Amino acid sequence: MDKKPSVVHDSDADLTVGPPKRSAAGLPSLVDSLPRAVSQMGPSRTWKSLLAMNQKDGFDCMSCAWPDPPERKLAEFCENGAKAVGWEADPLKVPSGFWDENDVESLAQRSEYWLGQQGRLVEPVYKPAGSSHYRSISWDNAFRIVARELNALESPDEATFYTSGRTSNEAAFVYQLFVRAFGTNNLPDCSNMCHESTGLPSVRRSASESPPSATRTSPRRI
């Protein structure tokens, strides 16, 4: 399976909401998730991925932090876990012509789901100043652009090097060595870049309100 059909329309007009489930996983999970996984990954990749997920010699599901039992079952995942693996292991790749057909303004009008369903980026893309489109470039050219911009800074501390929560420990270790060799320790991770932007308004709102008070008449065992 080389590719799957990309999503053209992502309207929620046909979305239906049913009563909440009272249980998860098990046979209903397999019945619901297998067709979805096969449509995204193909039969072979689905079989290899789902059988290895949350197994002792496999990999942990990236959709949550639910603890794994000592004794693992054959299908040690829920519907959302299967969906997450299907999205991660999707073989569809974004073709170079995609950037000629879609300018930045039109892409900004698309949903995150639509963008994610177009495939995986497999080559660097670059938007020159004043251009309305990204364009594919070679890795050598990409590294030259990065080097040019970094070396043009007055101080290494003017640069910020973002790391992702999905980065492996080995890759993150090598990356931070490069950053420190460059001369800075500005290494915010996903918690800084993603979560602080949503948490700061809550902190400010809480600080502007009177703190709650509590009175305890007897000790409480914790």
Tell me the pTM: 0.63
Classify residue 211 as exposed, middle or buried by CB count within 10 Å of its CB (0-12, 13-18, 19+): exposed
Between helix 26-41 and helix 79-88 the angle, nearest 10°, is 10
Q: Which pLDDT tens digit goes with each residue over 118-134? A: 988 989 999 999 999 99
Average model confidence (pLDDT) across the chain: 81
**Mean of the pLDDT values across residues 73-85?**
82
Percent of the chain with pLDDT over 90: 31
Q: For residue range 167-187, list pLDDT tens digits in order.
A: 788 998 999 999 999 999 998
pLDDT tens for each residue of 7-59? 555 666 777 888 887 776 667 777 888 888 888 888 888 888 888 888 888 88
108, 59 contact by CB (below 8 A): no
User: Cα separation of 77 and 41, whole Å?
Assistant: 17
Question: For helices 43-52 and 79-88, what crossing angle results, to 10°?
Answer: 120
Section 191-208 average pLDDT? 66
Highest mean pLDDT among 40-54, 77-91, 128-142: 128-142
For residues 132 and 104, is the Cβ–Cβ distance under 8 A? Answer: yes
Give the C-alpha distances (Å, rounded to integers) separating 189 from 31, 112, 117, 204.
37, 21, 25, 22
- Residue 202 is predicted with a pLDDT of 65
Domain boundaries, given as residue ranges, for the chain:
26-88, 92-152, 154-202
Q: Report the DSSP beta bridge partners of residue 93.
A: 120
Q: How far apart are CA 160 and CA 172, in angstroms?
A: 15
pLDDT at position 24: 66
Strand extents, DSSP E, the chain: 125-126, 135-136
